[in-house]
């Protein structure tokens, strides 16, 4: 952004035509609007996804605690515990990916209008 303001300031020093200055101001204004839109999008997308990730990680923690208790009491073998951790992690990751794509799509459609 600072680069564009320097260009605008230099353009005033070299006395370009009024049309060029107006075009440059429009470009800078559009870039500024785009940056503001991106910041707004990131805030709107990041906050709900943090809650979803927190809930998913809590579920993974529950699987680890329950599996550890069952493993300690010799109710499940080690291989089963390891496989349950792998599958739970795959489930959590795929759930987070699906929800992030879906939520981001909704936010882009809502904020683009």
CA–CA separation, 82 and 30 (whole Å): 53
pTM exceeding 0.85: no
pLDDT, one tens digit per residue, over 68-93 is 999 999 999 999 999 999 999 998 88
Q: What's residue 107's pLDDT?
A: 66
Q: Are 104 and 47 in contact (CB under 8 A)?
A: no
Q: Are 81 and 71 in contact (CB under 8 A)?
A: yes
Report, as ranges of residue numbers, the positions in the chain whose pLDDT lies below 70.
1-19, 41-47, 103-104, 106-108, 110-113
CA–CA separation, 100 and 48 (whole Å): 9
Place of tokens 């943090």: 50
């Amino acid at each position: 952004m600072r680069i564009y303001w320097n260009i605008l300031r230099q353009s005033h020093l070299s006395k370009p035509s009024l049309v060029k200055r107006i075009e440059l101001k429009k470009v800078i204004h559009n870039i500024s609007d785009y940056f503001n839109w991106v910041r707004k999008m990131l805030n709107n997308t990041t906050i709900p996804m943090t809650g979803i990730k927190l809930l998913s990680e809590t579920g993974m923690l529950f699987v680890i605690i329950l599996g550890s208790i069952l493993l300690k009491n010799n109710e499940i073998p080690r291989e089963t515990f390891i496989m349950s951790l792998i599958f739970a992690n795959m489930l959590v990751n795929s759930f987070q990916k699906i929800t992030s794509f879906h939520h981001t799509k909704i936010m882009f459609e809502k904020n683009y209008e």
